[in-house]
Chain A
């Protein structure tokens, strides 16, 4: 994960679209909060520019 994020940063891709969070089965609230956070952040970021590209 650290490697992937570094690659994305180096290549000018949005590494903050990749997330890793360790959440145990007992941490329901943390899971919900994390998903909410990621969803909000992603909404802020807007659609993934690569998703529109056919030539990847």
Chain B
């Protein structure tokens, strides 16, 4: 049986990314989440590093966006092809790839979602109070609770464990939404593939008594601080000493709590940056606060993170490289005492007001259960293991893993993995690409607007506080109002038919719903409007519950006047609506991949395997890129075998045409139909592609420091790798490796991410081959994030020496006839060390290639460090700003090869969302240009942040590239002449709304 459905387990950020990418690719998704609300850990964190913004909504699809909700992703989420099942867990799996039968259990919510109007009456009467884990237990909630205002869905649920079944809530509920007799439901589903994105648990600091968490009020976890700093947190953003309520003057962040120790042999990857972010936030609240990070290695290895650290340092955040063994409490002052030891062993004591434990990511119990029932292997840290070179595939066909079930990681990596896993899963999917048929818009008469107004009584929630009959009376006096109708509950599904009949009977051609906040019911109302034969945007929702009934004195004139003004403004607004149109864009089902390194090769093969014709363009003669000179990797995989297989796979694939020594010299067109000019040594020709993947790589940092070039024994890490791969290399006695050569300083304020792993791989290879050889690694911070940490531990166990140096005191190198001399300070013993190694190996990083040409052609920007900028560094890590163009590999920034592979798959996955379809629906037209008014001054062209505007030379005015327009409205503000119209926000609509509010 053709199966076009994929099961995604977990609705955290990687599960979400997987589900959205599958749905955008025309695959049906069942998204199961064991919690009562969507979103995972991310919902507790409001602002992200390094942008210090939320930007979660950028995760929403950019094309075919009409099909998904366009709300803030903290308020609501829906997609027609994603069925969401909350409180649901996977219990059993049978069958195999392409045809799994899964058994799921949905636990009771005890609240009927459709019936709950989130009025809060149940919560008010509930007698049971429990700590609220959403706020890190810093506040209380009732046994019946909603995660207001930021829960998806915005309805209540009952905490089974806390509830005493007293039944008070049942009595209080005006809509009979509470059913204490609900029982768990076991059900089955047939799916083609399974994506496991079960996330992580935060490390529980109760396990580390020495820090006093849970005993001393001012010892917090990083999540607790996050909630305390949040405006939706337990204190509304007031951050004070928990013990005394006084302002915090001094705060210490202790890193690696529950990471990088014997029981947790991994680095949690994100905590350094989270601590940096929080330290910056507390500095924002009060610049005089003293904030210090106590760390082992400061792992700022991600894109833009070193600059972020520098920004924090400029704000006055302090850094101390030291592990804090314990925290003591002074009961008199209620302050905390911490001790830290510098490298020489000298102990310093500090008294602080608050201690923040940077708790790590820990494998969740769920992932253990899931591994068990899916038959997947776990590593010693408890994480599920993927196949070699860390793709998202597991040993079981049709089962893929992504996000933190594999290894602790940060958001962009989790998203890439989610997208990569999605694309892997598509291989097992059969059946047609599902798409929502866009019906042609109903003929809209040119008759003057006649608006029907529904006033929701919301039981008594609105009716008891606002004089609805009086309001109705006033509104009826307007000539353009067809009817005003009070309704008990507009949201109940049963009322929909009645609403449609009423609209039709009164021949209304616009509809206003005066009800509650629109997040949950807008699409329901849209369906009513559509069913009544009107375009779906010929309606407006205005919130007379939250903004009037609940905030103004019941029955007051103020409430009445405000409601009148709001409804009148809504009527004026819908009166000015014009039908939205959805343009279709035919898609050329072929892709261009630029760059023949690992990223480009992986993306090409991946897409070709899915039946997509690929043109792979490489500027050089040979494929393979920088990776050709990689001979050793952590984990023991043989890079050259891998690369050879990859290249053979590409060369032998009939869907791939490899164009060597070829350049891209021009491009026209956009998403779905890019016309690209290619220049091969023989000819120049044009080709049409539906999507474009840029994987142009980067170059090696050219070393000038540490005597490089003056002596043959001073070599770069790549050169040393080449030597090492030669079996005839004579045994060395002494090697010195210097890390961060041209990285994280000066002109290169970024971590090259792969150098530490490569240095360890080489050092360990040397130690294995010649155990008596002395290897010393001089480092600033070792970047063995995630499971790489185990290699670091192993390296130390093998007897490799590590010496930390600082930017201020770098190792000194002399070269002469006698050889190379390296002098540096041993921070542990304090003395000066002099080594005359056989080789001084300089661990040099990557540097951006100058690709101004491509940046110009594809409307890309580059970061300050010269790497391509993605659409959004956290949530859209492989999308270029322009839709239909995708980026991957080290052209985006330096990274390890497994991350390159994941990114390439993610980029391919993103491209598949377009390439799987013959045509895509463009977002409804948001902005358009009046040809009569446009003077073609082109001010809007550079002003548009989405590159959605271009002057049409034939027409003589500026046109909107519909596929790219996001409706932000910058164009309307720069256009001197209002030649730009923003649909639903046209000036007549906005002006009359302002008038209603101002004069009302």
Contact flags B879-898 to A (C-beta < 8 A → 1, else 0): 00000000000000000000
Contact flags B143-174 to A (C-beta < 8 A → 1, else 0): 00000011000000000000000000000000
The interface stretch among B107-115, B229-237, B389-397, B725-733 is: B229-237
The answer to whether A55 has its CB under 8 Å from any CB of chain B is no
Let me know if A25 and B75 touch, CB within 8 A: yes
Within 8 A of A (CB), among B61-80: 71-72, 74-75
Residue among A24, A25, A26 having the largest count of chain B Cβ atoms under 10 Å: A26
Query: Complex formed: what's the CA distance from A29 to B46 in Å?
Result: 13
Q: Which residue of B lies closest to A27 (CB)?
A: B231
Query: Complex formed: what's the CA distance from A27 to B55 in Å?
Result: 12
Q: Which residue of B lies closest to A24 (CB)?
A: B54
Query: Complex formed: what's the CA distance from A30 to B54 in Å?
Result: 14
Let me know if A26 and B74 touch, CB within 8 A: yes
Let me know if B46 and A26 touch, CB within 8 A: yes
Query: Complex formed: what's the CA distance from A30 to B231 in Å?
Result: 7
CB neighbours (8 Å) of A30 from chain B are: 231
The answer to whether A28 has its CB under 8 Å from any CB of chain B is yes
Let me know if A29 and B236 touch, CB within 8 A: yes
Let me know if B149 and A28 touch, CB within 8 A: yes
Query: Complex formed: what's the CA distance from A30 to B237 in Å?
Result: 10
The 4 closest A-B pairs by CB, nearest first: A25-B72, A29-B231, A26-B74, A29-B236
Could you tell me which B residues sit within 8 Å of A by CB distance?
A: 46, 53-54, 71-72, 74-75, 149-150, 231-232, 236-237
CB neighbours (8 Å) of A28 from chain B are: 149, 231-232
CB neighbours (8 Å) of B74 from chain A are: 25-26
Query: Complex formed: what's the CA distance from A28 to B149 in Å?
Result: 8
Contact flags A19-46 to B (C-beta < 8 A → 1, else 0): 0000011111110000000000000000
Number of A residues near B (Cβ < 8 Å) is: 7
CB neighbours (8 Å) of A26 from chain B are: 46, 54, 72, 74, 150, 231-232
Query: Complex formed: what's the CA distance from A29 to B150 in Å?
Result: 13
Q: Which residue of B lies closest to A33 (CB)?
A: B231
Let me know if A29 and B54 touch, CB within 8 A: no
Could you tell me which A residues sit within 8 Å of B by CB distance?
A: 24-30
Closest CB of chain B to A27's CB: distance in Å? 6
Closest CB of chain B to A7's CB: distance in Å? 14
CB neighbours (8 Å) of B71 from chain A are: 25
CB neighbours (8 Å) of A29 from chain B are: 231-232, 236-237
Query: Complex formed: what's the CA distance from A29 to B230 in Å?
Result: 9
Query: Complex formed: what's the CA distance from A25 to B150 in Å?
Result: 10
Query: Complex formed: what's the CA distance from A26 to B150 in Å?
Result: 8
Q: A24-B53, A25-B74, A29-B237 are in contact. List 8 more A-B contacts (CB 8 A).
A: A24-B72, A25-B75, A26-B54, A26-B150, A26-B231, A26-B232, A28-B232, A30-B231
CB neighbours (8 Å) of B149 from chain A are: 28
CB neighbours (8 Å) of A25 from chain B are: 71-72, 74-75
Query: Complex formed: what's the CA distance from A27 to B54 in Å?
Result: 10
Residue among A25, A27, A28, A30 having the largest count of chain B Cβ atoms under 10 Å: A25
Query: Complex formed: what's the CA distance from A29 to B74 in Å?
Result: 15
Closest CB of chain B to A55's CB: distance in Å? 18
Query: Complex formed: what's the CA distance from A24 to B149 in Å?
Result: 13
Q: Which residue of A lies closest to B232 (CB)?
A: A28
Query: Complex formed: what's the CA distance from A28 to B74 in Å?
Result: 12
Query: Complex formed: what's the CA distance from A26 to B42 in Å?
Result: 13
CB neighbours (8 Å) of B231 from chain A are: 26-30
Closest CB of chain B to A50's CB: distance in Å? 12
Closest CB of chain B to A53's CB: distance in Å? 15
Closest CB of chain A to B172's CB: distance in Å? 25
Q: Which residue of B lies closest to A29 (CB)?
A: B231
For this complex, 23 residue pairs linking A to B, each with C-beta atoms less than 8 Å apart, are: A24-B53, A24-B54, A24-B72, A25-B71, A25-B72, A25-B74, A25-B75, A26-B46, A26-B54, A26-B72, A26-B74, A26-B150, A26-B231, A26-B232, A27-B231, A28-B149, A28-B231, A28-B232, A29-B231, A29-B232, A29-B236, A29-B237, A30-B231
CB neighbours (8 Å) of B236 from chain A are: 29
Q: Which residue of B lies closest to A31 (CB)?
A: B231
Q: Which residue of B lies closest to A28 (CB)?
A: B149
Query: Complex formed: what's the CA distance from A36 to B243 in Å?
Result: 30
Q: Which residue of A lies closest to B233 (CB)?
A: A29
CB neighbours (8 Å) of B75 from chain A are: 25
Query: Complex formed: what's the CA distance from A29 to B231 in Å?
Result: 6
Closest CB of chain B to A29's CB: distance in Å? 4
CB neighbours (8 Å) of B54 from chain A are: 24, 26
Closest CB of chain A to B281's CB: distance in Å? 14
Q: Which residue of A lies closest to B72 (CB)?
A: A25
Query: Complex formed: what's the CA distance from A26 to B76 in Å?
Result: 12
Query: Complex formed: what's the CA distance from A24 to B54 in Å?
Result: 8
Query: Complex formed: what's the CA distance from A26 to B44 in Å?
Result: 11
Query: Complex formed: what's the CA distance from A28 to B150 in Å?
Result: 10
CB neighbours (8 Å) of B150 from chain A are: 26
Closest CB of chain A to B369's CB: distance in Å? 32
Q: Which residue of B lies closest to A22 (CB)?
A: B53
Closest CB of chain B to A33's CB: distance in Å? 9
Closest CB of chain B to A18's CB: distance in Å? 13
Closest CB of chain B to A51's CB: distance in Å? 9
Query: Complex formed: what's the CA distance from A24 to B150 in Å?
Result: 13
Closest CB of chain B to A6's CB: distance in Å? 15
Closest CB of chain B to A37's CB: distance in Å? 15
CB neighbours (8 Å) of B232 from chain A are: 26, 28-29
Q: Which residue of A lies closest to B75 (CB)?
A: A25
Closest CB of chain B to A24's CB: distance in Å? 6
Closest CB of chain A to B31's CB: distance in Å? 22
Closest CB of chain A to B151's CB: distance in Å? 12
Query: Complex formed: what's the CA distance from A29 to B75 in Å?
Result: 15
CB neighbours (8 Å) of B72 from chain A are: 24-26
Q: Which residue of A lies closest to B57 (CB)?
A: A25
Query: Complex formed: what's the CA distance from A25 to B149 in Å?
Result: 10
Closest CB of chain B to A35's CB: distance in Å? 11
Closest CB of chain A to B720's CB: distance in Å? 49
